[in-house]
Structure formats: C-alpha cells, structure tokens
Amino acid sequence: MRLLVTGGAGFIGSNFVQYILEKHPDYKVMNLDALTYAGSLENLKEVKNNRRHRFVHGKIEDGKLVDKLMGGIDVVINFAAESHVDRSILEPQVFVTTNVLGTQVLLDAALRHKVKLFYQISTDEVYGALKLGTKERFAENSPLRPNSPYSASKTSADLLIQAYHHTYNMSVVISRCSNNYGPKQHPEKFIPTVILNALHDKPVPIYGDGLYVRDWIHVIDHCQAIDLIMHKGKSGEIYNVGADNELANIDLAKRILKILGKPESLLTSVKDRPGHDRRYAIDSAKLRRKLGWKSTIPFDQGLAETVRHYSEAGK
C-alpha cells in the first residue's frame, strides 16, 4: 500500500510514519511537510535511511506539487495543520490557508487520482467546550461549536470532507482525538513547556486559575487507532479517539514537577488566553465497540516516559 502522509514531520505525523513503517513492512510512505516551526527533519531521523520512506518539502496548498505526488497513492492521511490555538488568535489567516484551503487542494487531487481513502486527522476542539464538574463527553454526533480560529478552521475542513463524500461519493474517514502527549512534541505545547521550564528551574506558566481540563492520550495509542481506522473504518464515518485521562492543567503540572523532584513554587499564573475553553472530554465508545480499539499505555507510565525523554534531550 502507498500512503501520502501530510504533516509527517510534525509531532503526531512523525510518530505515525515511524509506527506504520515498522508495523507494515510492505507499505511505502510519501511524506509531505512544509517544515514550519512545528515540523522538523530531526523528528524523522529514525526513518531517514528507510527506502520505503520518501520526504518531500512543500505545502499542501501547493496544487501542482500535490497533484504530482498523488499519482499512484492508495490512501491520503492528512495530519498537516497549523495547530496552536495561541498562534491562531494572532494569525487566523495562516490557519485558514493551511487547514481549509490546503485540505480542499488535497481533496481535489485525491478525487482526480481516484485515491481509495482520504483520512482526515481532526481534533476534539471542533466540538467546543464542556462545563467543569459534569460527566458530559463529546460523542461523534455532538454539535460542532468551535471557539477559536484554529478549531473553526479544523471544523471547516471536516465539513468539506463530508461534503466531498456526499457529493462525489468519495471514500473518507475522520477521526477526532483528544490532547496528545509523548516524544517529539513541539516545546511550546503544555507538557513540554512544563518539563523544560522545570528542568531549568524557570517559572512554569499556568493560564488563569489552571482549572482548564483536558483529556490526554499517548501519541502511540493514537497512532494505533489511526492504523485500525484506516484499515477497518467505514467510509463516511467519524471516530472519536480518547483515553479517558481527564486532568486540570494545574494538577498535570504538579504531577510533572513531582516526577522531576521540583517545587510547586515554580508554578506561575499568567494572563489567560482569549476565549479559553474550560474542558474537553472524549467518548471513544464507538471506536471501541465497532473496531475493538483500546488504549494500551497507562497515563502515569506514559507521562513518566515523556518526562524522561525531554529530560535526556535537554541535557
């Protein structure tokens, strides 16, 4: 099978590329990435000499390049996206260009070349926010209520994909995942920021009161879910991916400090971001029931391994 993986030098994408090449020794991967601040060839060092992997530097909104690469591809897996909420507040046009226009360019090329499956990697943020102190979780049929330019751009892409499925009978699947953690994540993300600042005894920034709750999943569990959905998912369906690890930011930061043996006095409240969503929580019952998936990495184990990864990388 020949895959076109976009955004394959980023955090989740690079982990997936390595995972899929190890899991399926007869698969070939064409890896397209723009190498913006969030993507790095360093993330691909494990597959650098793999003959079944080819890296191409470029943007998904480059129609000529995308069309050239699409020939002979069986499955497109679109990880490529601007994804940092804070940056989307400052530069929303960049997010619309990549996340919406770029997806549309990929869809058109995939349609022309009769690709067997278009797989969109989406986010739980398209559902908006949940209230603290409730047991409510996002299901696949939850209303789409994005609250940031980032989540609005991802929602737009999801709706485009569903429209191509309905209008052109294109084979598509969408998965919406909770917050990922693990190796290779960009330092500006929450967990790496806490680890790296604490390692150097710098203030650990916590937005507002720190009671913003996120649902965490290890990136390898996410990769396993993508692999399963790619092979067994039903065209036109959406699958939520989560590991039921809800934690307030302040509590997660305290866990990391404890692992590192650092004092909680490093925690520093900073000005909140505009429109900050209070809580995300994913219901992945459909994925477990329909496809038999389950997360395999306990959160405490995965977090400890992640802390160790960044600690060793920071030496």
On whether residue 210 sits in a domain, the answer given is no
| Average confidence (pLDDT) over 13-41 | 95
| Average confidence (pLDDT) over 52-64 | 97
Residues 129-177: pLDDT tens digits? 999 989 999 999 999 999 888 899 999 999 999 999 999 999 999 999 9
Provide the pLDDT confidence category of residue 266 given band limits of 50, 70 and 90. Answer: very high
On whether residue 312 sits in a domain, the answer given is no
| Average confidence (pLDDT) over 21-46 | 94
Residues 179-230: pLDDT tens digits? 999 998 988 889 999 999 999 999 999 999 999 999 999 999 999 999 999 9
CB-based contacts of 265, cutoff 8 Å, min separation 6: none
On whether residue 26 sits in a domain, the answer given is yes
Which CATH number goes with the domain that contains 236? 3.40.50.720
pLDDT value at residue 231: 98
Distance linking the first and last C-alpha atoms of the chain: 40
Domains contained in the chain, number: 1
| Average confidence (pLDDT) over 93-102 | 89
Residues 282-291: pLDDT tens digits? 999 999 999 9
On whether residue 208 sits in a domain, the answer given is no
Using the predicted structure, report yes or no on whether residue 257 has a pLDDT greater than 70: yes
Using the predicted structure, report yes or no on whether residue 21 has a pLDDT greater than 90: yes
pLDDT value at residue 82: 74
On whether residue 196 sits in a domain, the answer given is no
CB-based contacts of 68, cutoff 8 Å, min separation 6: none
Using the predicted structure, report yes or no on whether residue 39 has a pLDDT greater than 90: no
Rounded CA gap, 54 and 32, in Å? 9
Point out the residues that are catalytic: 124-125, 150
Contact status, residue 203 vs residue 268, Cβ threshold 8 Å? yes
On whether residue 19 sits in a domain, the answer given is yes
On whether residue 68 sits in a domain, the answer given is yes
pLDDT value at residue 37: 77
| Average confidence (pLDDT) over 56-62 | 97
Q: Among residues 258, 1, 265, 278, which one has the least CA distance to residue 130? A: 278
Contact status, residue 310 vs residue 192, Cβ threshold 8 Å? yes
On whether residue 186 sits in a domain, the answer given is no
Domain of 18 in residue numbering reads as: 2-181+217-243+283-296
